[in-house]
Each structure stands twice: as C-alpha cells, then as structure tokens.
Amino acid sequence: MRYQTKLFFSFLFLLLLAPIGVRALTIEVTATIEITATVSGCGDDAIGGGEQCDGANLGGASCSSQGFSSGTLSCTSACTFDTTACTVGGGLIGGSGSRTIPNTNVVFVGKAYPESTVFLLKDAQEIATTVADQEAKFQVAISNLSSGNYMFSVYTKDIQGVKSLLYTFPVYVTSGATTKVSEIFIPPSLATDKTEVKKGDPLKIFGQTVPQAKVLVNINSEEEITVEETTDNEGNYSFDFDSLPLERGLHTAKAKAVVGEEISTFSSLVNFIVGTQNVLNTLPIDAVNKGDLNQDKKVNLVDFSIAAFWYKREPDANFLRIEAERLNGDGELNLADFSILAFYWTG
Amino acid sequence: MLTTSIMKLFLKTFLLCLIFWSLPVLGRASEIRLDAHKVAVGLREQFVVDVMVNSADPLNAIEGQLEFPEAKLTVIDIRDGGSVINFWVQKPGLISPGVISFSGITPGGFSGPSNLLFSVVFEAKENGIAALILGGIKSLRNDGQGSELVLPIRNTIIAINPGDSSTNREILVDTEPPENFNPIVESDPNLFNGNYFLVFATEDKVSGVREYRVREGTLDWFHKAESPYLLKEQSLKKDIYIKVIDKNGNERLVKLNAPNKASWLEQYGLFATLLAGLVLGLAFMKNKYKYGQNR
C-alpha cells in the first residue's frame, strides 16, 4: 500500500472515531463546567442582552449621553447605569456655540428616603437603579428610547426594608429631546409593630420619608383620625398610637408626607385589628409575600407568567395552596389575582 | 311629500342625537368609552375606534369585550401600540365573529383622563348604522385587594353611507423597532414540571407587537413563541436569541447569554474535526491525482 493511501485511511479512521472521542472529551469538560462555570451575564464585564453596562465597561456611555451635563457615570451591580455622580444643569447646549444633538433621554428627579436605593421601572420592567442622597434627593436618567407613551414607576425601600408604594406616572417621550420629570415624591413607608392590638394598648406606627418632613397618618375609624408627626434627620418617624378610641375590628392606616409646598400621595394601606390580644408582627419586615408566586422576593414578569399559565385552567393542589397564600384565595386564577399581582409589583 | 320630508327630518334628528350621545361627555369623572375617529363613513372605507378609559381612581386591571355587527364591519387591524396596559392576560383579539375580547394589567395602576387601551381599524362593508358596544367590563382598583370599580360605559355608532370610499385607508407609518427588553430564564415547580422556561415581554410604541420568535444556539431556526416558553435546551448551554417583530415588520433581536455556557470544544469540536478531515481528505485526493499524472 502506498504512503498516501495509508495516510488517507488513517485520517478516515480518525474521522469516524472523532464523534466518540469528542463525546468522551465532552463528558469531562461538562463535569468541569458544572464546578467552575462562570455564569455569563451581569458581572462578566461584557455587556450582554438587557444590560446597559457591566463593571467598568460602560459601552462608551457617559453622563452626557445619559442626558446630564457633566459628572462621572458608573455601573451598578444590576448592570444598569448609576448616574448619582452625574449632574444636571446647563442643559445640553454646548457653551462654545456648538449645539449638541441630544439623544432621546428621560431624566427623573425626585425625593425618596435618605440613602435608599431607588428602583426605576419602564413599562413595569426594571431599567435602572440609583441611590438617594442624605436629603433623600435622587436623579436618574435613561436614554435611547423610542418616542411614545411610557408608564414609568419608581419605588424604594426604607432603612428597615419596608417597600414603598409603587409610584407610577405616564410620560410622553419626544424623539431627539431630553424629557425631564421632576417633583417625583415617593410616598412614605408605613408599618406597625402588631397585626392585632388589644383595645386600649398602644400600637407603634413607624416608617420613613424625607428628613424634617411633616407626616400625616390617617387611621380609619368611625371618624377618621389623623396624627401628625415630624421626621428626624434620617427621615424616620415613629409614635405610639392609643388604640382606645378605635372600635373593635379591622382598621387601616395610610400616610403621606409634606415638605414645603410638595405633598406626596398616600402610602399603601396597612391593616391591623383592634381586638382582645396583642399579636406581634412576626413576618420579616422586608418579606415580599403577596403576588410573589415563585417566592424569589420579587413580583415581576416571572410571577405574571406563572399566573398567566394557570389563567382559565384548573389549578392543581400545589398551585391552589399558593393561590390561597399569595393571591386572593378564591380557588381560581382570575382578574382579581392579576390585580393583586399588579399592586405588589416590584419589576 | 310631507310625510317623506318629516321622515327625512326625523332620520336626521335621530342620527344627530345618536352622534351626540356617542360623543364623550366632558366632566365625566370615570368611564370606559369608544372614541370613533369618524362618525360617518362610506362603503369599504376604513376607520379607527379607540377604547379609552377615564378614571379618577387608580386602576390596575381591566377586562371586557367589544361587540360589533360583523355583517356591517370587518376588523382590519387591532393596535395596542402606546397602550396604558403593560401586560395582556388576553391580548385584544377576535374570539368569535363580531366579538373582540381583552384583559390586561398595569403594575402600579393608571388614572386620569383618556388612557388608551387599544384601537381597532374597521372597514365598512354594508350600508346602515353600526353600533359598537362594550360589554362584560370589569375594572379593578390598584388597592392590593382587587376590588371592583364600576365604570360607566359609553358606546358609539357609525353611519355607513352608500358610495365606494375604498381609497380611505388607515395606514400607520412605523419605522421604529419594538422596545428593548430583558428576557429571563427561570424554573418553577408550578410551571412545566419544574423545567427551565423563558419569559419575555416588550412593547412597540407605534403599531404594537405582532409576534416573538426564539432560537436556541447558533444552528437552530427561529420558532414562533409565546411567553412563558419552555426551553428545548434544558442544560442551558446555548445562547438564546429572542426576536420581536412589530406589525410593520420592524424587528429587535435580543441575545441572552447561555447561563451554563458550553466550552469551545463542546460547541465546535465535532465541526472542527470534520472540517480538518475534509481538508486532509481533499489534500490526499489532490496528491493522488498528481501522483497518477506523474506516473
């Protein structure tokens, strides 16, 4: 047999064995990956799908490209732009006579709680986060949007992890312009130390908002009772409410904050019972419960998808338990359950 | 003669009253209504009807049906671009002849005047009066309990006059792709027996989203998909591509990196070996041909 013929058959043999060899190698490699696999996505310094940035990789973006006049842009751990070190002022018109053509940007300016993380949602999906300063002021910007109507939402969590109400507002975004949304005032957080208070005993009511703000807490009774408190330098308020004037039964409380001319909307309602015993609020204060169908402490598209899957279907025993615990408990998936999910939404 | 004149006057008055009743009443705090862009059309003319909500109280969920005489009207398009609804439980669509059903939510709620739910493009196909009616409306407050707020309903009517007006089309110009979005891979015991699935949702601000397509890996084809989508590749070693297409054909492609990325050898090892074999085989054949010629 000639040398070339030998060579050909050798390669043909190798070729036929190649899949087996590769499969054997694959098994080894697979095992290694399971131990040392690097999860691609946020944190790998590469800007992937749905990420604005990753680590030091800002993809060429800057404060200017985000609608601010100057400052240093950085990246959050959620791979969204952190614009806290960017500053607004001076607009987007260049000072040397040259006009900068702006992107389609939206800048949000408002008040949250001191040093709290503010979550910005675009059409109910988280798009950016930022941290409020010591005076509870925040500003965040997003860019490269299409023109049209958007529903933006913001929420925050207080120092104890109590989530604020999701504050939603429609914005029409104009192409090629910077839209500034100011005077956003996230409502105060509100919590009680008991789920049931013995009539006559004090109920501790507390929460957080802007420092040195006036907080009005409304407690529903036969006649609505309003308690006025002032927050400290960290924006906290707390007081003992005498439950004696309240009739026995279920009551609700809600709060709003006033700073100068600005008044926030009301917080979410907090339920408590005036009864014959004291029952402490034992749930972890930051527990996300209602609407959180997959129990990941978020209420988002995943929970919506799970609910949508069971819509107009006969729920199985496991999902019936979840529906009873985390939705309205009427044994079926209907619009009321979706409404609860939408109320507790975190994005 | 007199009778004919009286009849004409009566008909005109009746039509004017109907048109007046169909107009939104200013100052009404909360209502769901149908806003027709035209009050009278010709045969084969197209026109748009918007489903709008005014609400003093924040609402976060709404469902219902829009009924129309299918003998007189044909649905050309249903547009949800720019809708106040973020997630459709049931995207507006025909569920039976003459009935469009819808159901959706807005996390955080919406309030105020003139919130668009969706628009329908109709084409007139028979003379007469076409009454469009909203029914089965259920709107829920953004209060965490799903309590109902009964919205007064304001319907509309369209006069369809004789005469071909087929040149009047409702053409929508949309050159922008749908919005960017963040797909999520998740598993949950309550869905697909705990297997991994993909969830995604976005909006198109002009014409609305027509469809989504999903591809797993580079060698797969795009398949039409709905969220939640059960992943074929449960090892999560392949990149996932989600394409969203709006009603004017504008596309956006989003890539989700494989959560358990396969090694280079796993992805391309077999292909590379086959290629090397092919190259060597060709080289061998070439040498053999040369050798044969030389001999």
**For position B26, what pLDDT does the model report?**
43
Question: Worst-scoring range by mean pLDDT, A28-37, B45-54, B247-256?
Answer: A28-37
DSSP per-residue string spanning A204-245: EEEEE-STT-EEEEEE-SSS-EEEEEE--TTSEEEEEEE-TT
Q: How many CB pairs under 8 A join A and B?
A: 223
Report the SS3 class of residue A27: helix
Query: What is the distance in angstroms between the Cα of B252 and the nearest Cα belonging to chain A?
Result: 11
Is it the case that residue A249 has pLDDT exceeding 70? Answer: yes
- Say if residue B190 is in the same domain as residue B233: yes
Mean pLDDT, residues B241-266 taken together: 88
B251 lies in some domain: yes
- Say if residue B99 is in the same domain as residue B61: yes
* Chain B residues whose beta carbon lies within 8 Å of the beta carbon of residue A151: 84, 86, 106, 108, 110
- Which of A153, A305, A342 is opposite residue B105, by nearest beta carbon? A342
Is it the case that residue A39 has pLDDT exceeding 60? Answer: no
Q: Torsion angle, CA of B281/B282/B288/B290, rounded to 10 degrees?
A: -160
**For position A150, what pLDDT does the model report?**
93
**For position A323, what pLDDT does the model report?**
92
B173 lies in some domain: no
Q: Which residue did the predictor score with more confidence, A273 or B13?
A: A273
Q: Do A125 and B200 touch (CB under 8 A)?
A: no
Dihedral sign of CA atoms A82, A87, A91, A93 in order = negative
B175 lies in some domain: no
Contact between B109 and B59 (Cβ < 8 Å): yes
**For position A147, what pLDDT does the model report?**
86
- Say if residue B274 is in the same domain as residue B256: no
- Which of A305, A316, A344 is opposite residue B228, by nearest beta carbon? A305
> What residues contact A143, with CB distance under 8 A and at least 6 apart?
A61, A65, A66, A67, A103, A104, A105, A106
- Say if residue B120 is in the same domain as residue B34: yes
B89 lies in some domain: yes
Q: Which residue did the predictor score with more confidence, A44 or B67?
A: B67
- Which of B138, B188, B287 is opposite residue A306, by nearest beta carbon? B188
Span A100-113, pLDDT tens digits: 445 788 999 999 99
Question: Worst-scoring range by mean pLDDT, A66-80, B85-99, B180-194?
Answer: A66-80
B105 and A CB contact within 8 Å: yes
Mean of the per-residue pLDDT values for chain A?
80
- Say if residue B249 is in the same domain as residue B284: no
**For position A28, what pLDDT does the model report?**
29
Maximum Cα–Cα distance for chain A, whole Å? 108
- Say if residue B145 is in the same domain as residue B280: no
Is it the case that residue B12 has pLDDT exceeding 90? Answer: no
What pLDDT band is residue B18 in, cutting at 50, 70 and 90?
very low
Phi, psi of A343 (to 5 degrees): -70, -40
What pLDDT band is residue A185 in, cutting at 50, 70 and 90?
very high
**For position A21, what pLDDT does the model report?**
39
- Say if residue B72 is in the same domain as residue B150: yes
- Say if residue B150 is in the same domain as residue B232: no
DSSP class of residue B167 equals T
Number of independent structural domains in chain B: 3
- Say if residue B231 is in the same domain as residue B151: no
> The complex's ipTM?
0.80
- Which of B138, B256, B269 is opposite residue A49, by nearest beta carbon? B256
- Say if residue B127 is in the same domain as residue B206: no
Percentage of residues in chain B with pLDDT exceeding 90?
67
- Say if residue B144 is in the same domain as residue B206: no
B52 lies in some domain: yes
- Say if residue B11 is in the same domain as residue B144: yes
For residue B150, is it left (φ>0), alpha (ψ between -120 and 50) or beta?
beta
Question: CATH number of the domain that B157 lies in?
Answer: 2.60.40.680
Which of residues 8 through 47 in chain B touch A, CB cutoff 8 A? none
How long is chain B?
A: 295
CA dist., res. A149 & res. A174, Å (int): 9
* Chain B residues whose beta carbon lies within 8 Å of the beta carbon of residue A80: none
Which of residues 240 through 279 in chain B touch A, CB cutoff 8 A? 254-263, 265-266, 269-270, 273-274, 277
Mean pLDDT, residues A222-244 taken together: 94
Within 13 Å and on the Cβ side, how many CA atoms surround A152?
Answer: 27
CA dist., res. A47 & res. B252, Å (int): 17
A40 and B CB contact within 8 Å: yes
Mean pLDDT, residues A249-259 taken together: 95
- Which of B62, B199, B273 is opposite residue A301, by nearest beta carbon? B199
DSSP class of residue A57 equals B
Mean pLDDT, residues A109-137 taken together: 95
B176 lies in some domain: no
Percentage of residues in chain A with pLDDT exceeding 90?
54
Q: What CA–CA distances, in Å, run from A53 to A43, A77, A142, B112, B260? A: 9, 10, 12, 36, 21
Report residue A211 as tokens.
């420092």
B177 lies in some domain: no
B178 lies in some domain: no
Place of tokens 């190698």: A25
Query: What is the distance in angstroms between the Cα of B1 and the nearest Cα belonging to chain A?
Result: 55
Q: Do B183 and A339 touch (CB under 8 A)?
A: no
**For position A284, what pLDDT does the model report?**
56
Query: What is the distance in angstroms between the Cα of B72 and the nearest Cα belonging to chain A?
Result: 32
Q: Which domain holds residue B285?
A: 270-295
Report the SS3 class of residue A299: coil
